[in-house]
């Protein structure tokens, strides 16, 4: 039975991965052809990029670790603060207009403005990067959770109200389980954006981390390393998405999978 | 059955602006009674149920449930009242047994004790094997049974049913009605159930109340064990109810 399931799931996995393999192959071939006609400081051959990537992964992995840690801390903080703000907006009607205005203003401020302000306001690089990532990520969670609470089915609220629960019990038994899917969906949506912002923040605010290394590679005209770091970032994004998918499968095992024909 | 009124409505009027849903309604449900509330669409059945649940206040008049004003003293009825709705309203992230124990946990019962009692109630509604199944894995009839178990599990004095069997097929609905009535009688619960199916009312209820839109009670009669065996009498009552409801039945 297990072997049969495995036999069925392997082609399914291949079916999902196959388009990515095709696109990557096309890109590599295009880069190889381009490298024949363009100077190496514009388009190095894929093999040189691969060597740069391997060098990065074997000798500069601590920069990857630092960026990942910064990203993890800021994302976890943003999840907690954003979810709390969303819950307060969803459950306390009187506070909602004020918090919502704050969130809307925050989303209107360009990321670049936050980066420049962080340089003025904070002296340590870690604080700057944490601040930049947090102010950018928190509104995504706050708005998504607020919308999820507003969309909470009235039938469920009426049902739970018949037991005369305390407000904390409504939060525990109804709202918190209900907002798990939007938290995961928001995380999947912002991962790529968060990586880009983390690297960008490191570019302007830190001497360590992927962003600072990319800046260094650019100033040394090492385009192979710039592309190598780019490959590392793409791989990191794919891995993070996969990690959230695994978490989603575990946390949302109660949800029926629907296939639309 | 005792004379103690569990539900008491005195001169109750409910209106939305100029639209009067119920006027000068007087109604009583005594302890241990199973009362069916019938009426055509717009007769105010659900509004009356909402006033009894405490989710809506009466415009005027007195509503008392187990001696309390259900709207003004909302928290006083904690653990004393349970409701089963037309749709199961099960929480999809909880398994069948977790849905059943929900009310007990809200009432502060320790987790182990709540689980034990929820499992007993799942057995009573004939769902022994599905305790750990999620909602999407259950059939419509099973879900409604879980919903009934959730309502009865908290050992309420009063059970309110809002068209709880109407979305099921006739065979499942009949089995469930019989099971439910047996449980309610065995544990001496009081039950008010809203339905638009005349057969449901005649089969389950000790007393039937038929509402006329905006005008209060149009027909009220009791049913005893002998009546229930008398097919002529049942046929006559069916006709009278249908007449009041204007032929509006499934």
**Domain spans in chain A, listed from the N-terminal domain onward:** 61-251
Which residues from chain A sit within 8 angstroms of residue B77, using beta carbons?
164
pLDDT in tens, B27-37: 999 999 999 99
The boundaries of the domain holding residue B134 are 89-155
Last residue in a domain, options B155, B190, B211: B155
Buried/exposed A221-258: b ≥16 CB within 10 Å, e otherwise:
ebbbbbbbbebbbeebeeebeeeeeeebeeeeebbeee
User: Is A164–B103 a contact, with Cβ atoms under 8 angstroms apart?
Assistant: no
- What is the separation of C-alpha B64 from the centre of its chain, rounded to a whole number of angstroms? 17
Last residue in a domain, options B134, B155, B176: B155
pLDDT in tens, B48-82: 999 999 989 999 999 999 999 999 999 899 989 99
Asked if B65 and B181 sit in the same domain, the reply is yes
Query: Of chain B residues 20-79, which have a CB less than 8 A from chain A?
Result: 53, 55, 74-75, 77-79
Q: Any alpha helices (H) in B16-126, and if so which ranges? A: 45-53, 96-100, 102-106, 111-124
Asked if B250 and B207 sit in the same domain, the reply is yes
Asked if B43 and B120 sit in the same domain, the reply is no
Tell me what pLDDT residue A38 has. 92
Asked if B73 and B166 sit in the same domain, the reply is yes
Site of tokens 């717009």: B42
What distance, in Å, lies between the first and last C-alpha atoms of chain B?
A: 31
In sequence order, the 6+-apart residues with CB closer than 8 A to the CB of A95 are A88, A89
B25 near B53, Cβ under 8 Å?
A: no
B91: left (phi over 0), alpha (psi -120 to 50) or beta: beta
Asked if B25 and B49 sit in the same domain, the reply is yes
Separation CA B30–CA B32 (nearest Å): 6
Asked if B217 and B114 sit in the same domain, the reply is no
Tell me what pLDDT residue A228 has. 94
Instruction: Give the residue from A162, A166, A173, A180 with the most B CB atoms within 10 Å of its CB, the best one to mutate.
Output: A162
Asked if B226 and B177 sit in the same domain, the reply is yes
B154 interfaces chain A, CB cutoff of 8 Å = yes
Identify the band that residue B44 occupies on the pLDDT scale cut at 50, 70 and 90: confident
- What is the model's pTM? 0.83
Which residue among B53, B94, B134 places its CB closest to the CB of A162?
B53
Which residues from chain A sit within 8 angstroms of residue B105, using beta carbons?
173
Total domain count for chain B?
A: 2
- The complex's ipTM? 0.85
Asked if B69 and B3 sit in the same domain, the reply is yes
Which residue among B74, B85, B92 places its CB closest to the CB of A254?
B92
pLDDT, averaged in runs of 10, over chain A (261 residues) = 54 80 93 93 92 93 93 95 96 92 91 91 92 95 96 93 93 96 93 90 89 92 93 91 90 81 70
Q: What is the DSSP string of A100-140?
A: HHHHHHHHHS-HHHHHHHHHHH-SSHHHHHHHHHHHHHHHH
- Does residue B246 carry a pLDDT above 80? no
pLDDT in tens, B128-145: 889 999 999 999 889 988
Last residue in a domain, options B106, B136, B155: B155
Separation CA B163–CA B178 (nearest Å): 15
Q: For chain A, what is the radius of gyration of the CA atoms?
A: 23
Asked if B9 and B31 sit in the same domain, the reply is yes
- Does residue B158 carry a pLDDT above 70? yes
A216 near A229, Cβ under 8 Å?
A: no
Chain A residues whose C-beta sits inside 8 Å of any chain B C-beta: 155-156, 158-165, 169, 173-174, 177-178, 180, 253-256
Site of tokens 């449980």: B183
Separation CA A139–CA A108 (nearest Å): 10
User: Is B78–A164 a contact, with Cβ atoms under 8 angstroms apart?
Assistant: yes
Overall average pLDDT of the B93-105 stretch: 96
- Does residue B93 carry a pLDDT above 60? yes
Separation CA A142–CA A12 (nearest Å): 36
Which residues from chain A sit within 8 angstroms of residue B102, using beta carbons?
160, 163, 173
User: Is B94–A254 a contact, with Cβ atoms under 8 angstroms apart?
Assistant: yes
Tell me what pLDDT residue A127 has. 93
Asked if B62 and B95 sit in the same domain, the reply is no
User: Is B77–A159 a contact, with Cβ atoms under 8 angstroms apart?
Assistant: no
User: Is B106–A180 a contact, with Cβ atoms under 8 angstroms apart?
Assistant: no
Angle at A20 between CA A16 and CA A23, to 5 degrees: 145
Asked if B74 and B176 sit in the same domain, the reply is yes
Overall average pLDDT of the B3-28 stretch: 87
Overall average pLDDT of the B182-196 stretch: 88
Tell me what pLDDT residue A8 has. 55
Instruction: Give the residue from B51, B65, B93 with the most A CB atoms within 10 Å of its CB, the best one to mutate.
Output: B93
Tokens of A218: 């650019």
Residue B76: count of CB within 10 angstroms of its CB: 16
Q: What is the fold, at CATH topology level, of the domain defined by A61-251?
A: MetI-like fold (1.10.3720)
Asked if B119 and B66 sit in the same domain, the reply is no
Read off the DSSP letter of residue A206: -
A183 near A145, Cβ under 8 Å?
A: yes
């Amino acid at each position: 039975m297990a072997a049969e399931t495995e036999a069925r799931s392997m082609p399914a996995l291949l079916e999902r991965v196959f388009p990515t393999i095709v696109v990557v192959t096309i890109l590599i071939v295009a880069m190889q052809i381009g490298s024949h006609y363009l100077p190496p400081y514009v388009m190095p051959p894929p093999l040189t990029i691969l060597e740069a990537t391997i060098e990065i992964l074997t000798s500069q992995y601590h920069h990857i670790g630092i960026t990942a840690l910064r990203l993890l801390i800021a994302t976890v903080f943003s999840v907690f603060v954003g979810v709390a703000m969303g819950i307060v907006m969803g459950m306390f009607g009187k506070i909602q207009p004020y918090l919502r205005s704050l969130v809307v203003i925050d989303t209107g401020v360009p990321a670049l403005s936050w980066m420049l302000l962080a340089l003025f306001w904070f002296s340590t690089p870690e604080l700057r990067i944490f601040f930049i990532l947090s102010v950018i990520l928190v509104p995504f969670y706050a708005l998504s959770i607020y919308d999820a609470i507003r969309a909470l089915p009235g039938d469920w609220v009426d049902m739970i109200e018949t037991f005369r629960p305390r407000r904390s019990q409504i939060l525990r038994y109804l709202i918190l389980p209900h907002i798990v899917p939007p938290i995961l969906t928001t995380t999947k949506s912002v991962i790529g954006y968060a990586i880009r912002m983390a690297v960008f923040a490191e570019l302007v605010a830190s001497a360590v981390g992927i962003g600072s290394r990319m800046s260094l590679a650019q100033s040394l005209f090492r385009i192979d390393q710039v592309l190598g770091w780019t490959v590392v970032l793409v791989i990191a994004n794919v891995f993070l998405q996969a990690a959230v998918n695994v978490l989603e499968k575990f946390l949302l095992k109660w949800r029926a999978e629907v296939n639309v024909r | 059955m005792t004379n103690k009124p569990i539900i008491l409505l005195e001169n109750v009027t409910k209106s939305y602006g100029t639209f009067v849903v119920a006027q000068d309604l007087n109604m009583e449900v005594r302890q241990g009674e199973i009362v069916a509330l019938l009426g055509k669409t717009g007769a105010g059945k659900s509004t009356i149920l909402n006033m009894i649940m405490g989710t809506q206040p009466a415009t005027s008049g007195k509503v008392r449930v187990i001696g309390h004003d259900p709207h003004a003293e909302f928290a006083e009825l904690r653990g004393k009242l349970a409701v089963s709705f037309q749709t199961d309203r099960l929480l999809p992230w909880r398994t069948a047994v977790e849905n059943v124990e929900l009310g007990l946990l809200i009432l502060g019962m320790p987790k182990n004790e709540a689980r034990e009692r929820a499992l007993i109630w799942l057995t009573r509604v004939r769902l022994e094997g599905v305790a750990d199944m999620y909602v999407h894995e259950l059939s419509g009839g099973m879900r409604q049974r879980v919903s009934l178990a959730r309502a009865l599990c908290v050992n309420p004095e009063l059970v309110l049913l809002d068209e709880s069997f109407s979305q099921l097929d006739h065979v499942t609905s009949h089995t469930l009605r019989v099971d439910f009535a047996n449980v309610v009688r065995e544990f001496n619960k009081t039950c008010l159930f809203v339905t638009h199916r005349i057969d449901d009312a005649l089969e389950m209820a000790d007393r039937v109340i038929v509402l006329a839109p905006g005008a209060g009670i149009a027909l009220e009669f009791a049913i005893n064990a002998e009546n229930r065996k008398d097919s002529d009498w049942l046929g006559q009552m069916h006709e009278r109810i249908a007449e009041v409801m204007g032929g509006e039945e499934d």
